[in-house]
């Protein structure tokens, strides 16, 4: 038992060290360091968005194809507050995440009546409506032109310009998101959410209030997706509706399914896998959805609990064989 804990701690420390050294490794080995670092930054941003699904789906059992819309609200909220109303960037991002949480409740409450495919359709519709709104509400959102001139964050006074500087900000946000999902999952409320996901009738029989738990999960999940959107807007510097099409939501769901939602690591693995795939298929971007569809089908059939879930089971089997 103690040995396992020590091993865990060592692995965790190693992971942190590697994460901190990534820019140096990229610098030393990549043919085009800024490009690779940019891809890695995007992976970390999308890992946060994927974690929002790990919480909503993996813990509370609600599927959503609307996470891209929460990203959009996080991105537009941050950008509008910062650019048009000159709020400090950090405060703008915080307010945008809070707005996402409120929106999450507004979407989550009617969604309570829905399960499975119906819930997916409803959240998909939400993503469609949000996209339509930011595209057509030109006076407010800038329409197809989007919003430009989003300032670079400057947490320590000097603005973060390079992909490398940005990486540490995103890494800190990712660590926060990982901590939130891990803590919620292990806590008592998370336990009640997981029970609800397992068996709603039995959960009610021990006093779990389904509507309350699901709405709470929706709110936190939306805020996390909003955080990813806020980071994306700061990272790219300008935003436009085509960053937040329905495809974006599909991509996030693909990441979650590919990596697996039974563990927070799944979000990172899934984001890395899909983002790498997207970069490789950059020239065939119109076929991206086909690739995602194929990836989802393969994963769902071969490893229903995702890559990380599958690896864990394989590892457990190995360990059993060894003893």
Partner 1 sequence: MTLLALEDVRLSFDGLTALDGVSLPVERNELVGVIGPNGAGKSTLFNVICGYYRCDEGRVELAGRSLSGLPPWRIARLGIARTFQNPRVFKELTVLENLMVAERTSGLRSWLDVPRRVRAHAREWLAHVGLEHARDVLAGGLAYGDLRRLEIARACVGRPSLLLLDEPAAGMTGQDQVDLVEVIRVVRERDVAVLLIEHNMPLVLGTCPRVVVLNFGRPIADGPAAVVRNDPHVIEAYLGASDDEEVAADAPQPG
- Residues forming contacts to partner 1 in the complex (CB under 8 A) are 113, 115, 183-184, 186-192, 194-195, 197-210
Dist CA 284 CA 177 (whole Å) = 32
- Other C-beta atoms closer than 10 Å to the C-beta of 280 total 10
Q: Are 277 and 285 in contact (CB under 8 A)?
A: no
Tell me how far, at minimum, the Cβ of 189 lies from partner 1, in Å: 5
Q: For 314, list phi and psi in degrees, rounded to 5.
A: -60, -40
State which residue, 58 or 74, has the beta carbon closest to partner 1. 58
Tell me how far, at minimum, the Cβ of 313 lies from partner 1, in Å: 12
State which residue, 173 or 180, has the beta carbon closest to partner 1. 180
Helix and strand numbers (H, E) in the chain are 14, 0
Tell me how far, at minimum, the Cβ of 259 lies from partner 1, in Å: 18
Tell me how far, at minimum, the Cβ of 196 lies from partner 1, in Å: 9
CA-based diameter of the chain, in Å? 67
Exposed / middle / buried, residue 289 (Cβ in 10 Å: 0-12, 13-18, 19+): middle
Tell me how far, at minimum, the Cβ of 232 lies from partner 1, in Å: 27
State which residue, 187 or 293, has the beta carbon closest to partner 1. 187
State which residue, 5 or 17, has the beta carbon closest to partner 1. 5
State which residue, 218 or 235, has the beta carbon closest to partner 1. 218
Exposed / middle / buried, residue 195 (Cβ in 10 Å: 0-12, 13-18, 19+): middle
Tell me how far, at minimum, the Cβ of 316 lies from partner 1, in Å: 11
Dist CA 142 CA 86 (whole Å) = 17
State which residue, 25 or 316, has the beta carbon closest to partner 1. 316
| Number of alpha carbons in the 13 Å side-chain half-sphere of residue 187 | 11
């Amino acid at each position: 038992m103690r040995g396992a804990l020590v091993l865990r701690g060592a692995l965790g420390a190693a992971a942190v060290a590697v994460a901190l050294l990534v820019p140096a490794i990229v610098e030393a080995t990549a043919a085009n360091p800024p490009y690779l670092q940019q891809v890695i930054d995007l992976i970390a941003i999308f890992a946060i968005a994927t974690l929002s699904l790990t919480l909503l789906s993996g813990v509370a059992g609600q599927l959503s194809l609307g996470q891209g819309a929460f990203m959009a609200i996080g991105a537009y909220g941050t950008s509008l507050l910062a650019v048009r109303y000159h709020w400090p960037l950090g405060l703008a991002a915080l307010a945008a995440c809070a707005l996402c949480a409120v929106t999450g409740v507004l979407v989550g409450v009617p969604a309570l009546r829905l399960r499975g495919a119906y819930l997916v359709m409803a959240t998909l519709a939400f993503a469609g409506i949000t996209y339509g709104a930011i595209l057509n509400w030109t006076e407010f959102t800038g329409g197809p032109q989007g919003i430009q001139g989003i300032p670079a964050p400057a947490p320590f006074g000097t603005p973060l310009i390079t992909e490398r500087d940005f990486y540490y900000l995103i890494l800190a946000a990712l660590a926060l998101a990982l901590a939130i999902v891990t803590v919620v999952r292990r806590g008592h409320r998370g336990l009640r959410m997981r029970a609800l996901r397992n068996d709603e009738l039995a959960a009610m029989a021990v006093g779990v209030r389904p509507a309350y738990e699901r709405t709470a999960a929706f709110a936190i999940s939306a805020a996390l997706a909003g955080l990813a959107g806020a980071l994306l807007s700061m990272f790219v510097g300008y935003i436009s509706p085509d960053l937040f099409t329905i495809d974006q939501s599909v991509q996030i769901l693909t990441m979650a399914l590919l990596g697996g939602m039974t563990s927070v690591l799944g979000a990172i693995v899934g984001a890395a896998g899909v983002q790498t795939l997207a970069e490789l298929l950059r020239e065939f971007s119109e076929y991206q959805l086909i690739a995602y569809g194929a990836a989802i089908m393969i994963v769902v059939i071969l490893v229903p609990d995702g890559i990380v879930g599958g690896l864990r089971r394989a590892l457990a089997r190995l360990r059993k064989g060894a003893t």
